[in-house]
Structure 1
Amino acid sequence: MTYKSLPLVAFKPDLRSAKGAQIQRGFIVRLLRVITLVILDAVSLVLAWRLAIYFGTPIQSPWTQEVSFLLLNVTVGLTIFITSGLYKAGTNRRNYTRVIKAISLSSILLLLIGFLYAPEVYVSRSIFLLSWLLSVIFTCASRFIFDTSTKLLRNQGAVRHAIFLITDLEEQQEQVNLIEKENCYIVQGVADSSCLDLANREQTLQYLRELGVVEAFVSWSSIKDRLYICWHFYTAGITIRILPNKRELYHPKSQVWMLGDLPCLTIPAPIVAGTDFWLKRIFDLVCSTILLIAFSPLYISIALLIKLDSPGPIFFKQDRVGLHSKKFKIWKFRTMVTNAEKLQAALEAKNEIKDGVLFKLKDDPRITKVGKFLRRYSLDELPQLFNVVLGEMSLVGPRPLPLRDVERFKTMHFIRQEVLPGITGLWQVSGRSDIDNFEEGVRLDITYIENWSVWLDLKILFKTVGVVFNKTGAY
């Protein structure tokens, strides 16, 4: 079989990995803003409580005399503020209705705590009501002063976020005007969609990093390879804000964010770029090493069964197409006769995959007796833990396919080759071999890439255990 050339690129890491650990652009400024707001809120709550005690009905009570009750008051208040989203960026910190609701909820919780856990301790009603009223006044006033000061500084050109706009030429001026109306950005530059082409992409991201760009505004219509672009900005530590067109589309990692009256889709950058992916790689390495040691008696038992069942080697090694279309040898326990690959040509007419990209045959005559048992419980896949240790595979990811299958790919299918292949994946826990349409399988792989997180990997691993024991779709 001749091997057609695949779209190979120079070696680079998994699409989801960063080139190095980088703190999210603008994180320090955002952190300082949050710390300032927390301090202002805490001072407001303390001042309100002290003045309420001073002007309220005097009463001898630990609520008014002990510092621990004051700390409880502040802690409950700040916790409610955090859970109410009052420290998030944008209009959240200026949502005074939500501030009043948070303070009211905090006061109610303090009453419940006092009633349930210290019923013998009293606080006068006038102190309680004054504390609530003064907390509302002081907190709203301090936040108003903070916002007014921020606006004055921004009018002087300070405390602004450095951004870069990427959009089509005919939309550039309109979108620049829209961004400048927000009065919190400095437009460091504008470029058309060609800067995101494959040939220019890395140079563009490097240029944005050198400019110190915090956020990139990109019109949705100017992004050709959406999934690639979103991951590239994400791993560069640059927040991407997508300006929608009339045919607004949704990306799984995006959040709705308002630019004036226009809703935009935002894909926020992580605080430290690349940490989640390297956590995945460390998890892969540690778990695969532990499993190899734990399963060593099982490996020996399977090896003996294979030798007794049919002549040939214990392991089956096959060329598979992995990360960035690079070939590697995948390890499996042999489940077929030794000349299985030569016999496949004669069986192509019986292929049960509708579009013919993959080759699947339920009652494949090439499978040995022991091989059927191994496949039923996916035990033939166990040697791929060696591939994980070597860094060629991950525990979870799109399955690496043989050359014969990849040769039949369409251009859109190659996105699955931009991430590390896995022993199991979303495709495998959503039907395994029962999925008889390659496009459906690719859709599941792309869904996995778009929504990937360490938590998703863990859920797939747990589901895999159930699928294996239930023998779902295995043959």
Structure 2
Amino acid sequence: MYEKKATGWLKHADFIIIDIMCLELSFLLAFYIRQGGGNPFTSIYYRSMFFILDFAQIFVTLFFDTFQGVIKRGYYLEFTAVLRHVILITGLSALFLVVTQSSEEYSRTIFILTAVIYAVTTYAARSWWKHVLARRRTEGIGNQSLLIVSSKSYLNKVVEQLTSNNYAGYHIAGIAVVDAQWKGSTIQGIPVVADASDMAEYSCREWIDEVFLCLPLEDEETEKIQEQFLTMGITVHLAVAGGHTKSNNKQSVEQIGGYTVISSSLNMTTKKQLLLKRMIDICAGLAGCLMTVLLTAIVGPMIYLKSPGPIFFAQERIGKNGKRFKMYKFRSMYMDAEERKKELMKQNRVQDGLMFKMENDPRIIGSEKGPGKGIGNFIRKTSIDEFPQFWNVLKGEMSLVGTRPPTIDEWVKYDLHHRARLAVKPGITGMWQVSGRSDITDFEEVVRLDTGYIENWSIGLDIRILLQTVKAVFKGEGSM
């Protein structure tokens, strides 16, 4: 799933966090200067204003697009944008004081000082962060991984154009040349990683978020290449100079690296949808991490007494578009579980080893007491073992709702169309989990459900899945 204008918006999210930190710091500093010390949170008026300022910040960001083009703005334009942003937040905060009739209880000096300090600090912080992003672009570091697919005649111009105008901050993972055997060489410092015969396979096995396609081929040939990537759930940006696209996927016209492109993907989200989903994830992540701390004090000793060793289990998983990360769980299995898995593969209920499911898994802590018994089965049935993943959610590696991340040994067996389920961030819960995961043994059905989730995604769908998850957990079915 492609987050429309999301590459820039992810950078905007960084700026938003920096701005909120500057705003809160400015409020505290203004209070300290005016009062000579003390704690502003002892007063209900100042305590309320602290949070109202943050709400005003989010409101202005959402409805006034004050961060639009922030990366490209020069020093003067950034200065005027900061002034506009500060005036809007100050105006909304003043309106709140008037409407609630609490302006007399609030120091005007603190109010003005907050605005002045905020303008200075956020301007300095934005300038510094843009300098950091510019250095990252130069060094080829970015949040979104881009594969360039082109021909030898177009290649040098395409690479030069994309690298010199990389405002979106892509990590350019490599180049695929469709009409030459140049694999192993480099073009302007970027490695050639594939040719026409293996570029799809390469993209299936490596971290590739998006593909930039610029080819002098006939429409039919370009379409075949494009569809290979779209089948895997990878967003494709097709330079319109090479012709039009007939794809049935969601499309939009955009600018990337100076090129006008038609972007195609399984689905597209707006920046407001993306921000709302991330805000939900952050709130859930904070609450979930707090619950994890409390649960650790309860189930941690129970796990250790029955199976001495680490309380938490960390396993490398495959995340969005092939990016690897460590996923955390409460350990519900004995220490030798991974070694014993090979012996138990013949009892796997899912064909081809694309997932692992079996009845009465003997590797679960306490399972020797009988089917469904023991601390391991208890925390799995109640989904308590999943709570440490809220840390992955808070870090942005996972989402509250998404698709379950495969292990590396499962992922290497994927066909191209299986990769489509990696087009979104993995989730703690998801469509196939609430669709009777214990009864689904056909991996193709899992892929169908996950692809359907991606194609029809909305905040409303996430909420419905969460409600079904809560219902399943309380019924003792376990759905994460």
Taking structure 1 as the reference length, what is the TM-score of the superposition? 0.47
Higher-Rg member (1/2): 1
Taking structure 2 as the reference length, what is the TM-score of the superposition? 0.47
